[in-house]
């Protein structure tokens, strides 16, 4: 008994001891910082260096070994490191360049290839670090992600660009912010999820391509995970400022404090701009039905504030609570027939890590009011607008997950609510319609994944998931006559239960070659708009399809990582078989119904289809400080019944020559897009021409200051991208040209 009491006392004493902290930077031999380096402490603590190569790890007192690794550099180990309770150990690590990559510098980024397997982090994932974003003129996450192979942006105006991943967009992909689901409220997808986050609070963006995201329900074509910045030891103040052509301004201020078991972080960022001019010198408002007095109106004004509190009550334990509020003022959308007068979003999340067990929860909310009061369509109206929509959406969810050895298992659940009311002026009278009739979607799923080395050179991962979901509209808000007129039925609830899973294989061959392959199956349920949207309007109605089945994607991916001296190459191909893929359609009226006067409506239908495509990234080190790199992406979609899938991106390519030495870099970049003539004529999808652009940028990176400046579209080319218009309920049908020649400057400092 005495022995047991003594053991308990020792355990309690050890539990009460404050943690130690190891902090520092990871550098190359020239003294330049290495962002994205993996820092690991045995047995199970891990972090990644930030944009300035800095890291911080909270560890239990005692003896530890630390390992640091980064792409293109030799792995470094330190230890044993003997740490006392409450001690802070400053430790900078210098990594030597691998012999196979000795011509590369940290400022000349090449596609990854290490001597170890990359399957877990790289072959199906692309990582966009915030320092790469800050070297560009991107105004939001959608615009920044367009530089990644396999991703394209959907231009709506000066901000709020949406994302297309390998031809999948909107609800066919998941966009999460620190694991939280947030949904735009606009049925036109005016405010996509990636719009509701600011660069000043972001550390990195991870893109999972294909059906290989097992943790989140509905990742039919992939997932985009946006991760906030980590808190560092001590008091850190980070002011920032960005500016550019067309009146763009983006001041920001962020700060953090960490001492002992407690850390705090907070910040605020403001973005505003006038409507940009294209290569022909016209404002983008020229291409839609804006009133003459509104042509030079401010294009957007968005303010974002955030707060985060973290605590570590014991070794191996950490909790965190965070809140973000984004106030979007007036935002112009020439892509659509209405503009946003306000678009406000709230994100609240909490998480707790206890050893190998992690729990997290979140609540998100968006409220959105849009009208046509800046357009000619509102002239002569009794109200300031001729049409308007108030939309609100909420999501409440969470997960419980365990990770131990090669296993990861968990349960995820969420509830999504969506309600919109559209007001239209018809025959001089205003009428309200519940266009999305208070729809709720409740989903729950369980998943498990196991990773194992079958041979020293062969890594296999298997994963499985089972989901059940129920979508339901409020019967009193439904316009059942619309569903009966166009689909013959008008159900208001549906339950869907579906399995999914995948297998991944990575095989490391001699001579720094790795072959990887994967096959999987993913499912996503129809969203509330696709099943229950209902709107009577002149010309053609817009109506959902309550009988839609979930879309299923069975996909095979194959690729190779190859390095030969100064040259690296990574080609990837994929093939998707889509069952019950949901597309927009023209639906003829099949029954007479009271008040339904049109003979056709825009609606949704299930079809069988296929997609295939490829991505290629490459680099060639011409000199220790000079890197030539580039990539290309292509996707093609076809209906099984014949014809092309609509809204498929064209072939795009990128090539850049980058000079980097110590803290200075300079880069010249060319971007090209081929014409897209594989379009859907029934929906009046238009062909788009190809184009080629020239951009240049330069800057300085140091521990205290990051400075970048450059020119985009240096030759002032007039062009528009294929995703410059859409077929949503209130589209204008007009293309939105891209900005003409423009200059940008970004400055971040650290104190």
What are the pLDDT digits (tens) for 120-150? 335 677 778 787 888 899 999 999 999 899 9
Phi first, then psi: give them for residue 7, nearest 5 degrees: -65, -40
Determine the Cα angle at 634 with ends 633 and 638, to 5°: 160
pLDDT digits (tens, 9 = 90+) for 587-636: 999 988 888 889 989 899 999 999 999 999 999 988 878 889 999 999 99
Residue 88 has pLDDT above 80, yes or no: no
Residue holding tokens 């190809």?
A: 690
Residue 216 has pLDDT above 70, yes or no: yes
Cβ neighbour number for residue 692 with a 10 Å cutoff: 13
How many whole angstroms separate alpha carbon 148 and alpha carbon 150? 6
pLDDT band at 406 (very low <50, low <70, confident <90, very high): confident
Residue 730 has pLDDT above 80, yes or no: no
How many whole angstroms separate alpha carbon 205 and alpha carbon 196? 14
pLDDT digits (tens, 9 = 90+) for 7-17: 444 333 333 45
pLDDT band at 93 (very low <50, low <70, confident <90, very high): confident
Residue 53 has pLDDT above 90, yes or no: no
Question: How many CA within 13 A on the CB side of residue 54?
Answer: 18
Residue 74 has pLDDT above 80, yes or no: no
Q: Encode burial over 387-412: b for 16+ CB neighbours within 10 A, e otherwise.
A: bbbbbbbbbbbbbebeeeeeebebeb
pLDDT digits (tens, 9 = 90+) for 410-457: 999 999 999 999 999 877 789 999 999 999 999 999 999 998 888 878
How many whole angstroms separate alpha carbon 650 and alpha carbon 644? 13
Determine the Cα angle at 520 with ends 515 and 523, to 5°: 150
| pLDDT value of residue 729 | 65
Question: What global pTM score does this model have?
Answer: 0.85
Mean pLDDT of the chain: 87
Phi first, then psi: give them for residue 196, nearest 5 degrees: -90, 40
**419: Cα separation from own chain's centroid:** 24
How do 174-177 and 222-228 pair as beta strands? parallel
| pLDDT value of residue 44 | 61
How many whole angstroms separate alpha carbon 328 and alpha carbon 508? 49
Q: What is the mean pLDDT of residues 248-262?
A: 94
pLDDT digits (tens, 9 = 90+) for 546-598: 999 999 999 999 999 888 878 889 999 999 999 999 998 889 999 888 888 89
In 50-173 the beta strands, taken as DSSP E runs, fall at 54-59, 62-69, 76-83, 88-90, 93-95, 125-129, 151-154, 162-165, 168-169
pLDDT digits (tens, 9 = 90+) for 623-679: 878 889 999 999 999 999 999 998 899 999 999 999 988 788 999 999 999 999 999
Task: Kindly list the structural domains of the chain, giving each domain's residue range(s) and its CATH number in brackets, ordered by start.
Answer: 17-97 (2.60.40.1120), 123-749 (2.40.170.20)
Residue 243 has pLDDT above 50, yes or no: yes
pLDDT digits (tens, 9 = 90+) for 668-714: 999 999 999 999 887 788 899 999 999 999 999 887 888 999 999 99
Phi first, then psi: give them for residue 374, nearest 5 degrees: -95, 5
Instruction: Report CA-CA distances (Å) from 53 to 125, 357, 561, 750.
Output: 21, 29, 26, 13
C-alpha dihedral, 32 to 38 to 39 to 44, nearest 10°: 180
């Amino acid at each position: 008994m005495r022995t047991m009491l003594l053991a308990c006392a020792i355990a309690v004493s050890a539990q009460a001891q404050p943690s130690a902290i190891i902090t520092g930077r990871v550098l190359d031999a020239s003294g330049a910082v290495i962002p994205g380096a993996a820092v690991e402490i045995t047995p199970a603590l891990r972090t990644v260096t930030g944009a300035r190569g800095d890291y911080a790890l909270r560890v239990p007192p005692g003896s530890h070994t630390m390992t640091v690794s980064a792409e293109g550099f030799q792995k470094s180990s330190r230890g044993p490191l003997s740490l006392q309770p409450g001690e802070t150990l400053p430790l900078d690590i210098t990594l030597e360049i691998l012999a196979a990559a000795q011509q590369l510098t940290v400022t000349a980024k090449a596609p990854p290839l290490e001597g170890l397997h990359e399957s877990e982090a790289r072959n199906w994932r692309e990582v966009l670090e915030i320092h790469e974003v800050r070297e560009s003129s991107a105004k939001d996450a959608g615009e920044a992600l367009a530089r990644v192979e396999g991703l394209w942006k959907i231009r709506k105006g000066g901000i709020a660009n949406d994302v297309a991943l390998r031809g999948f967009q909107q609800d066919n992909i998941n966009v999460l912010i620190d694991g939280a689901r947030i949904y735009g409220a606009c049925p036109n997808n005016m405010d996509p999820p990636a719009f509701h986050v600011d660069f000043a609070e972001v550390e990195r963006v991870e893109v999972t391509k294909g059906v290989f995201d097992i943790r989140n329900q509905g990742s039919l074509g992939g997932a985009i995970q946006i991760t906030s910045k980590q808190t560092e030891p001590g008091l850190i103040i980070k002011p920032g400022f960005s500016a550019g052509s067309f009146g763009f301004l983006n001041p920001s201020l962020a700060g953090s404090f960490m001492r002992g078991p407690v850390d705090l972080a907070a910040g605020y960022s403001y973005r505003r701009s006038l409507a940009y001019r294209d290569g022909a010198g016209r404002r983008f408002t020229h291409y839609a039905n804006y009133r003459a007095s509104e042509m030079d109106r401010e294009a957007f004004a968005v303010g974002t504030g955030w707060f985060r509190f973290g605590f570590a009550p014991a070794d191996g334990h950490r909790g965190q609570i965070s809140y973000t509020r984004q106030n979007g003022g007036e935002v112009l959308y020439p892509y659509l027939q209405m503009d946003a007068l306000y678009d406000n979003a709230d994100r609240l999340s909490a998480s707790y890590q206890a050893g190998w067990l992690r729990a997290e929860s979140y609540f998100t909310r968006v409220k959105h009011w849009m009208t046509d009061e800046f357009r000619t369509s509102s002239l002569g109206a009794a109200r300031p607008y001729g049409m308007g929509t108030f939309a609100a959406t909420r999501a409440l969810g969470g997960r419980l997950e365990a990770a131990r050895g090669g296993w990861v298992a968990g349960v995820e659940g969420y509830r999504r609510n969506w309600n919109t009311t559209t007001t239209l002026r018809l025959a001089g009278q205003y009428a309200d319609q519940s266009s999305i009739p208070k729809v709720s979607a409740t989903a729950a799923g369980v998943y498990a994944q196991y990773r194992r080395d079958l041979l020293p050179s062969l890594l296999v991962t298997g994963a499985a998931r089972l989901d059940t979901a129920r979508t339901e509209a409020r019967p009193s808000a439904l316009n059942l006559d619309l569903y009966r007129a166009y689909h013959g039925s008008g159900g208001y609830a549906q339950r869907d239960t579906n399995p999914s899973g995948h297998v991944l294989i990575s095989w490391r061959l001699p001579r720094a070659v790795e072959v990887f392959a994967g096959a999987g199956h993913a499912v996503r349920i129809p969203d509330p708009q696709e099943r229950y949207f209902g709107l009577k309007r002149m010309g053609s109605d817009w109506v959902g399809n309550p009988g839609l089945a979930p879309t299923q994607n069975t996909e095979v991916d194959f690729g190779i990582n190859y390095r030969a001296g100064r040259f690296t190459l990574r080609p990837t191909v994929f093939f998707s078989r889509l069952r019950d893929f949901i597309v927009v359609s023209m639906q003829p009226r099949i029954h007479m119904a009271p008040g339904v006067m049109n003979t056709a409506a825009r609606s949704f239908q299930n079809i069988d289809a296929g997609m295939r495509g490829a991505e290629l990234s490459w680099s060639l080190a011409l000199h220790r400080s000079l890197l030539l790199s580039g990539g290309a992406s292509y996707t093609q979609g076809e209906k099984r019944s014949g014809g092309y899938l609509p809204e498929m991106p064209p072939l795009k390519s990128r090539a850049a020559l980058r000079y980097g030495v110590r803290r200075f870099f300079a880069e010249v970049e060319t971007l090209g897009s081929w014409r897209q003539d594989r379009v859907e004529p029934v929906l009046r999808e238009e062909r788009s021409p190809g184009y080629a652009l020239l951009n240049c940028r330069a800057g300085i990176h140091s521990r205290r200051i990051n400075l970048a400046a450059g020119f985009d579209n240096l030759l002032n080319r007039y062009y528009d991208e294929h995703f410059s218009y859409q077929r949503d309920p209130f589209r204008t049908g007009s293309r939105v040209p891209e900005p003409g020649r423009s200059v940008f400057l970004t400055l971040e400092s650290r104190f």
